[in-house]
């Protein structure tokens, strides 16, 4: 049940700030923040435990230049392609960082207030935001060494002089959690001599210092700008690392969580329909903490799903996937899981920690390498490295099993997406999965960066020709995927917060039951994780004898009197009692 809490906005913001900056004049700081956000200090109504989403919500994740056409701004090409090929099944677009940048394909932002001129301009962003729920990245943990802020840091002038985290290289920083293998501190020449700046990800991505309230005010102005340009969903990139405190692991600190709560308050006060999603590629129990008590992130990336689902499909057992799903708490009303199985990055392995054994992880890594994947590493305590993510196009990742490539690549690929689409949460589909794009070895060789293998750029005419060619695997997968999206969007039992329970039908089948919020529709979702036909007795599914059950995929009907289902290799059925 949703309910509203109405309070003056100023005291709410002050309360957040007192938890982040106990020694500041937070009355004055709160007034400055509200001014930066163009908000009044009067009444603020917080809608708690309210769902702003439905079963019709689905987002496609894409770079602004994933599809190119000569003599046309890529953002215009993206809009044209989306209008022609993605509507009406796709409700939203997540355009990965579309700002001027110096590295990491956009995640080393030079200027937060500009659109990369090679992509287009703000009117192009607004046009997309007018027709789609637009998600944008708030790259909050770091910015580019080439940004004006960092140039000012080196020149020892504002704004920027005090915007970056510094540390003494003699300090013991061995407990700091790292997602990379590069040295944490970067030696930087300034007008005041050598400084050592903190770089969690790369030396071109310099960490911002939110212990300085002036930086927070700058970031609030940036958020307001995005809202005014049509952004409705904010992806808080790498937010887990945003607060640093010497002597800690510098991840998930209390100030980090309070900062997320503050930003949510400000964003919702400006635009009630806006949504905050945290991107925290960390072990599962740590990731769950960003829900707070339904007062922090509206959604969290479901980071454990990609490695566990991939493992299930290449090993033929859903045991680990099933055990994880059984342990997952249902998202409270007013929150949801953001489900994805592929992205612009790789398939993260840290979220599988504690869920897959080292032997399982080694088998997965070795299998993916045999399919052409690259492996990225991270530094861990003791001076060693461990696999951090698998870099591969999902279509190629599913070309076979741990036994080697086989003939089931396309069906396995569709089965993976059927699982994601049916699970509790809102699905996000990477554009190269929707298009069944394969590993881009040319781009990998050109850039030397592992993640480039799954960041292909399509020529618009070449792509549309592939989609029109019914013999092409791109066309076949795209058509099948669009059909799945259409089916999903029409089922109340697939509401992101609809009830879910895992079914025990053997490890070969990953199965669960969804029930609509009003209990009028049930869907039994059964997915074969193996390369063999699996027989499932009807009486083991617990179908009620009063209903006729129809498979939403094939249209076939079943009743309590039928003896069994025969599910082909990597096949799936969605049995519903609602015609």
- 3-class secondary structure per residue, 184-231: CEEEEEECCEEEEEECCCECCEEEECCCCHHHHHHHHHHHHHHHHCCE
Q: SS3 string of 1-58? A: CCEEEEEEHHHHHHHHHHHHCCCCCHHHHHHHHHHHCCCCCCEEEEEECCCCCCCCCC
Per-residue pLDDT at 562: 74
Q: Which residues are catalytic?
A: 237
Residue 323 CB neighbours (<10 A): 12
Q: What is the helix, strand, coil percentage profile of the chain, to 5?
A: 35, 25, 40
Per-residue pLDDT at 419: 98
Per-residue pLDDT at 80: 98
Residue 461 CB neighbours (<10 A): 11
Q: Is 23 annotated as a binding residue?
A: no
pTM: 0.96
Q: Is 142 annotated as a binding residue?
A: yes
Q: Is 104 annotated as a binding residue?
A: yes
CA dist 418 and 553 (Å) reads: 10
Q: Is 237 annotated as a binding residue?
A: yes
Paired strand residues for 6: 45
Per-residue pLDDT at 462: 98
CATH code: domain 499-576 is: 2.60.40.1180
Q: Report, as ranges of residue numbers, the positions in the chain whose pLDDT lies below 50.
A: none
Domain ranges across the chain: 499-576
Q: Is 344 annotated as a binding residue?
A: yes
Q: What's the Cα-to-Cα distance from 505 to each of 326, 453, 540, rounded to whole Å?
A: 14, 37, 7
Q: Is 158 annotated as a binding residue?
A: no
CA dist 99 and 75 (Å) reads: 12
Per-residue pLDDT at 7: 77
78 within 8 A of 119, measured Cβ to Cβ: no
Per-residue pLDDT at 49: 77
pLDDT digits over 351-374, tens only? 999 999 999 999 999 999 999 999
Paired strand residues for 429: 60
Q: Is 235 annotated as a binding residue?
A: yes
Q: What's the Cα-to-Cα distance from 32 to each of 36, 212, 240, 242, rounded to whole Å?
A: 6, 14, 25, 22
């Amino acid at each position: 049940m949703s309910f509203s809490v109405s309070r003056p906005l100023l005291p709410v913001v002050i309360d957040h700030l007192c938890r982040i900056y106990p020694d500041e004049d937070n009355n004055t700081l709160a007034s400055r923040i509200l001014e930066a956000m163009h908000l009044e200090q009067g009444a603020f109504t917080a809608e708690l435990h309210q769902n702003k989403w439905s079963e019709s919500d689905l987002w496609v994740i894409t770079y602004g230049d994933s599809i190119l056409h000569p003599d046309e701004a890529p953002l215009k090409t993206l809009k044209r392609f989306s209008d022609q090929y993605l509507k009406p099944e796709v409700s939203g677009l997540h355009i990965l960082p579309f700002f001027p940048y110096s590295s990491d394909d956009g995640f080393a932002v030079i200027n937060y207030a500009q659109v990369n001129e090679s992509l287009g301009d703000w009117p192009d962003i607004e046009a997309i935001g007018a027709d789609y729920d637009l998600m944008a990245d708030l790259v909050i943990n770091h910015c580019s060494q080439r940004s004006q802020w960092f140039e000012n840091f080196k020149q020892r002038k504002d704004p920027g002089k005090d915007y970056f985290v510094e540390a003494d290289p003699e300090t013991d920083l061995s407990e700091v959690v790292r997602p990379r293998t590069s040295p944490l501190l970067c030696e930087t020449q300034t007008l005041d001599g050598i400084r050592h700046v903190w770089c969690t990800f790369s030396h071109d991505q310099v960490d911002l210092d939110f212990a300085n309230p002036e930086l927070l005010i700058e970031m609030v102005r940036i958020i307001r700008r995005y809202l005014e340009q049509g952004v409705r969903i904010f992806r808080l990139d790498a937010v887990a690392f945003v607060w640093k405190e010497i002597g800690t692991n510098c991840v998930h600190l209390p100030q980090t969580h309070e900062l997320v709560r503050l930003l949510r308050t400000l964003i919702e006060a400006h635009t009630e329909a806006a949504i905050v999603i945290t991107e925290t590629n960390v072990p599962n129990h740590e990731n769950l903490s960003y829900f707070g008590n339904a007062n922090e992130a509206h959604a969290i990336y479901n980071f454990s799903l990609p490695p566990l689902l991939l493992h299930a499909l290449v090993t033929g057992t859903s045991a680990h996937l099933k055990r994880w799903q059984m342990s997952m708490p249902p998202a409270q009303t007013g929150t949801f899981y953001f489900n994805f199985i592929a992205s612009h990055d790789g398939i993260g392995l840290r979220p599988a920690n504690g869920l897959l054994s080292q032997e399982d992880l080694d088998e997965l890594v070795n299998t993916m390498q045999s399919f052409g994947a690259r492996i990225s590493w991270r530094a861990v305590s003791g001076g060693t490295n461990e696999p951090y993510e698998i870099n591969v196009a999902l279509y190629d990742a599913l070309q076979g099993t741990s036994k080697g490539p086989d003939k089931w690549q396309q069906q396995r690929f569709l089965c993976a997406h059927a699982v994601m689409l049916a699970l509790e949460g809102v699905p996000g589909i990477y554009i190269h999965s929707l298009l069944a794009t394969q590993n881009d070895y040319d781009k990998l060789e050109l850039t030397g960066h592992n993640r480039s293998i799954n960041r292909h750029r399509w020529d618009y005419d070449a792509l549309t020709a592939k989609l029109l060619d019914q013999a092409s695997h791109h066309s076949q997968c795209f058509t099948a995927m669009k059909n799945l999206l259409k089916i999903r969007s029409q089922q109340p039992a697939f509401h992101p917060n609809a009830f879910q329970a895992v079914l025990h039908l053997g490890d070969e089948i990953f199965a669960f039951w969804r029930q609509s919020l009003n209990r009028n529709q049930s869907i039994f979702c059964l997915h074969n994780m193996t390369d063999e036909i699996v027989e499932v007795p009807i009486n083991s599914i617990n179908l009620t004898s009063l209903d006729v059950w129809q498979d939403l995929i094939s249209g076939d009907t079943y009743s309590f009197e039928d003896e069994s289902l025969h599910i082909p290799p990597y096949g799936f059925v969605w049995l519903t009692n609602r015609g």
